[in-house]
Structure 1
Amino acid sequence: MAIRGGRPTWRAERRLVRLTMPFLAELFTLTQHAVSLAVLREQAVLYLETLYPPAYTSHILRTSANAPAYCTAAGKILLACDPGARYNASRPGELQPLTESTITDGRELERELNDARARGIALCRGEYLHGYDAVAAPIFGREDKAIASITVSAPAALLDLDALVPLLRQSAHSASLSVRSRGRLTPGLSHFSRRGPGSAHNAE
Structure 2
Amino acid sequence: MSLVDFLSRLHQNDGSNNHVTSAQRIREAIIIILQKQRLFGEVLLQLPRENDLQLPAMMGLRWEDNRLVLVINPEKLANVRNDELQSLLEHEALHLIWMHPLRYASYPHQDLVQIATDVAVNQYLTEPPQGTVTLSQLEKALRQKLMPKLDSQDYLNILEQLPAEQQEKLHQPGLKLNGGKQEENATADEVKIADT
Fold in common (TM above 0.5): no
Larger helix percent: 2
Relative to the length of structure 2, the TM-score reads: 0.33
Larger strand percent: 1
Relative to the length of structure 1, the TM-score reads: 0.32
Greater RCO (Cα-Cα under 8 Å, separation 6 or more): 1
Bigger radius of gyration, 1 or 2? 2
